[in-house]
Amino acid sequence: MKIQILGTGCPKCKKLAENAETAAKELGLDFELEKVTDINKIMSFGIMMTPGLAVDGNVKSAGKVLSAKEIKEILK
């Protein structure tokens, strides 16, 4: 499973990455966490607000910092 954090590296993006990693580890998933910081790549996902969360290339959230609990629901 590939979890992508879409954002320029702002504090919200870092928090989302932290929460995503916590959620995936708590679920015992085999995952790769990628931080997508290139604005053109972020826009190619079709989101206008960061941070964004994508799983295996599919955008699951944009413009908000999800909690680890919310991310777990997405990853199940």
From 1, 2, 10, 58, active-site residue: 10
Contact 46, 58 (CB under 8 A): no
Buried b (16+ CB within 10 A) or exposed e, 38-57: eeeebeeeebeebbbbbbee
Contacts of 26 (CB under 8 A, 6+ apart): 68, 72
pTM for the full predicted model: 0.94
For residue 44, the SS3 value is helix
Mean pLDDT, the chain, integer: 96
Which among 3, 29, 39 is positioned nearest to 18, based on CA atoms? 3
pLDDT tens digits, 40-73: 999 999 998 999 999 999 999 999 999 999 999 9
From 13, 24, 55, 75, active-site residue: 13
Average pLDDT, stretch 4-14? Answer: 95
Q: Specify the number of domains making up the chain.
A: 1
Which residue range is the domain that position 31 belongs to?
A: 2-75
Q: Which CATH number belongs to the domain containing residue 45 in this structure? A: 3.40.30.10
**69 given a catalytic annotation:** no
**1 given a catalytic annotation:** no
